[in-house]
Structure 1
């Protein structure tokens, strides 16, 4: 049954795109359900990191079901690419555990996530030019920032897939994992993040995005303002106390 499943490990919410017969393509209500799960995770104070992956070890996702695009069913939902862009606007970091093929809307999703872990058998594809469709969802504007501009351009112009090892060398992928191990490697990364002050983690994400959108001067002004506020907050008091007392901090994200 095509579905999005959710499970929680400590402070980490794991969302799995499950439609293996179609390489985890989004069909039916899957995109809307996925957006709902992301919204739930972002609104849950107990969740500090979200990890998104695909079922099995062949595909992360092949994107939208092309049959639904051809029939007009996809357009009828009025969702557009909102579910795949949502990680970018979340306050919490989102990690893509790319366990195989990652094409089209799934590439938009991986691009919108804050960090990417890929298995060695993963491939990234932007097939728009081959389908007569413009690559969107940040592919033209943001993808060249996350790998070389020339490599991003080649990926989109040729519509040829980018192997995981090359994606790692370009900096698009943060970590490489063995086949079937992308989720576990992503969880190692997620646990390291979840140990840190959630207020600061959220502020770092927001500041980096602000810098990308408005430039280095805006990011500098953000640092100066937000740093003064956070150094007076509960997370800072707990962090300093824990360091002096030689114990692990217990962050709660309070003011």
Structure 2
């Protein structure tokens, strides 16, 4: 049955896109469920990092079910690309554990995530030009910033898949894993992030996005203001104390 399954490991929420008979395509209520579960993870104070992967080892997701696009069912949902863009507006880091083919809306989601881990059998596709549709969800504006601009342009113009090893060389992928190991490698990253101050992690993410959207000077102003605020909070006191006492810090994220 097509679904988005969820489980929690410590401070990490893991969402799995499950529709293997259609290469984990989003059909029915899957996109709405996906958005709801991302929102739930964002609002759960016990969750510090979200990891999203696909079921099996063939596909992360092939994006929207094209039958629903052709029938108009996708447009009638009024969701648009909101579920796949959601990581950009979340305070918490979202990691894509890309275990196979990652096409169309799934590429939008991967692009929207903060970090990306891919297995060596993964491939990235932007099929819009082949389908007579403009690539959306930040592909035109942001994809050339996440990898070599000329390679991003080639990916969109040709609609030919980009292999994981090349995506790694272009800088789009943070870590390259063996087949079947994308989730495990993503969890290594997630655990490292979850052990740090959630307040500072959220502030770093917000500042990086601010710099990307508004430029270097607004980001510098943000640093100066937010750094002074955070250094007065409990996490800063705990971090310094833990360092001096040679122990692991226990961050709460509060004031």
Which TM bucket (shorter chain)? over 0.9
Distance between the aligned counterparts of 2:50 and 2:66, measured in 1?
A: 27
Match of 2:179, SS? coil
Unaligned residue ranges in structure 1 (runs of 5+): none
Which residue matches 2:138? Answer: 138
Which residue matches 1:89? Answer: 89
Distance between the aligned counterparts of 1:125 and 1:235, measured in 2?
A: 41
Distance between the aligned counterparts of 1:156 and 1:115, measured in 2?
A: 21
Distance between the aligned counterparts of 2:164 and 2:65, measured in 1?
A: 23
User: After superposition, where does 1:2-21 map in structure 2 within 5 Å?
Assistant: 2-21=2-21
Shift of 1:231: 0.3
Which residue matches 1:53? Answer: 53
Which residue matches 2:241? Answer: 241
Which residue matches 1:68? Answer: 68
Match of 2:139, SS? coil
Query: Are 2:106 and 1:106 equivalent residues in the alignment?
Result: yes
Distance between the aligned counterparts of 2:50 and 2:70, measured in 1?
A: 32
Distance between the aligned counterparts of 1:156 and 1:45, measured in 2?
A: 38
Match of 2:180, SS? coil
Shift of 1:220: 0.2
| Residues paired across the two proteins, number | 255
Match of 1:141, SS? helix
Distance between the aligned counterparts of 2:75 and 2:206, measured in 1?
A: 31
Distance between the aligned counterparts of 1:180 and 1:21, measured in 2?
A: 18
Query: Are 2:151 and 1:164 equivalent residues in the alignment?
Result: no
Distance between the aligned counterparts of 1:44 and 1:88, measured in 2?
A: 17
TM-score by length of 1: 1.00
Runs of 4+ in structure 1 deviating by more than 3 angstroms, as ranges, are: none
Match of 1:142, SS? helix
Shift of 1:50: 0.2
Distance between the aligned counterparts of 2:239 and 2:57, measured in 1?
A: 39
Cα deviation 1:197-228 (Å, max 9, x = unaligned)? 00000000000000000000000000000000
Which residue matches 1:121? Answer: 121
Unaligned residue ranges in structure 2 (runs of 5+): none
Distance between the aligned counterparts of 2:74 and 2:113, measured in 1?
A: 22
